């Protein structure tokens, strides 16, 4: 079944969704993206995603359409593809320039929205996943700034390759000082003595939308949680751990570099956090 793609200002069949070879996103990775998840035809935490996109676009000086317009375009893409449970991706580049690296000459940003069916990772929640530690360090720089989802994603691509070679689900970054940061496509949490811990945004890491929602909901449940700078040893000595992102929500983490985390099975607090997030999906408005 062919996909319908929102390209610039209209929906077009997948075969007609083409971007110029002179687009700055293609040539220089000059752009941003956001990944959304739809449940039963409704895009979860839509405003949080769009607010993050708008903040990043302002930082790198790419003009974007009004957020209500983007929300409508995302919803139109979901409906046109006749999807209820889906993953959507919005890509925004600085646009077309035929004069080399001249971002100042780009007049109109390029917008692309895609949607594909997706129902989750039910086969993994009961058994958990393993990770390796990346040889790449997570550092703060505008080129690969973790606080925004830039098309400059090479560190993450290379980390995904490390995960593939190690035959594990995900790769974790440490920062330049050796503290725990985040996964190539996920945020990291672990539990010690009943307290949830997660790297602080200043580590630096991306403030994942699932991360943000879950932290807020955990606090509402009066579960102790700490954000900070933590050494790898803290994760290795944790009672249990999990990863979060838009697609796999709250995923139990059972081993790091072949070493079991806690019992080596999804833990009680992890399962509780997963249920807390599932409830949030049902109750949080877009």
- Give strand ranges (E) for 24-156: 31-39, 42-43, 86-93, 110-117, 129-138
pTM over 0.85: yes
Rounded average pLDDT over 135-154: 77
Q: Which positions ≥6 away from 186 have C-beta within 8 Å?
A: 170, 208, 243, 244, 245, 248, 251
**What is the number of alpha carbons within 13 Å of residue 180 lying toward its C-beta?**
25
Alpha carbon 160 to its chain centroid, in Å, reads 14
Question: What percentage of residues in the chain have a pLDDT greater than 90?
Answer: 88
CATH 3.10.20.30 fits 4-119, yes or no: no
Check if the beta carbon of residue 267 is closer than 8 Å to that of residue 217: no
Over the stretch 12-24, which tens digit does the pLDDT of each residue have? Answer: 999 999 999 999 9
Q: Grade residue 2 by pLDDT with cuts at 50, 70 and 90.
A: confident
For 64-102, the pLDDT digits (tens) are 999 999 999 999 999 999 999 999 999 999 999 887 888
How do the domains of the chain map onto residue ranges?
Answer: 4-119, 123-283
Cα–Cα dist 173/110, whole Å: 31
30, 101 contact by CB (below 8 A): no
Arithmetic mean of pLDDT, 162-189: 97
Query: What angle do helix axes 46-59 and 209-220 make, rounded to 10 degrees?
Result: 130
CATH 3.20.10.10 fits 123-283, yes or no: yes
Measure the CA dihedral 218/219/225/228, to 10°. Answer: 110
- The whole-angstrom separation of Cα 244 and Cα 253 is 10
| pLDDT tens per residue across span 50-68 | 999 999 999 999 999 999 9
Which residue, 139, 129, 135, 145, is CA-closest to 59? 145
Average pLDDT, rounded, for the chain: 94
Q: Is the separation of the CB atoms in 43 and 93 below 8 Å?
A: no
Residue 285 pLDDT greater than 80, yes or no: no
């Amino acid at each position: 079944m062919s996909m319908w793609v929102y390209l610039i200002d209209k929906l077009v069949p997948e075969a007609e969704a083409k971007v110029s070879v002179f687009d700055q996103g293609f040539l220089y990775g000059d752009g941003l993206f956001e990944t959304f998840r739809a449940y039963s035809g409704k895009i979860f935490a839509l405003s949080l995603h769009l607010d993050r996109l708008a903040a990043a676009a302002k930082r790198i000086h790419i003009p974007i359409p009004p957020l209500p317009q983007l929300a409508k375009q995302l919803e139109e893409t979901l409906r046109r593809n006749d999807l209820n449970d889906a993953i959507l991706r919005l890509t925004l580049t600085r646009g077309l320039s035929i004069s080399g690296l001249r971002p100042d000459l780009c007049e109109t940003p390029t917008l692309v929205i895609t949607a594909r069916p997706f129902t989750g990772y039910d086969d993994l929640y009961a058994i958990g996943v393993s990770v390796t530690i990346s040889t790449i360090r997570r550092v703060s720089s505008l080129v690969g700034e973790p606080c925004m989802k830039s098309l400059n994603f090479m560190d993450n691509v290379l980390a995904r390759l490390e995960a593939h070679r190690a035959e594990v689900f995900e790769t974790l970054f440490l920062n330049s000082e050796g503290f725990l940061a985040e996964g190539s496509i996920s945020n990291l949490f672990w539990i010690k003595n009943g307290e949830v811990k997660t790297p602080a945004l200043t580590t630096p890491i991306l403030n994942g939308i699932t991360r943000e929602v879950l932290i807020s909901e955990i606090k509402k449940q009066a579960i102790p949680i700490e954000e900070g700078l933590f050494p790898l040893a803290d994760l290795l000595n944790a009672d249990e751990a999990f990863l979060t992102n838009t697609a796999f929500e709250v995923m139990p983490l059972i081993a790091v570099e072949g070493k079991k985390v806690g019992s080596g099975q999804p833990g009680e607090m992890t399962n509780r956090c997963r249920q807390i997030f599932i409830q949030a999906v049902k109750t949080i408005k877009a």
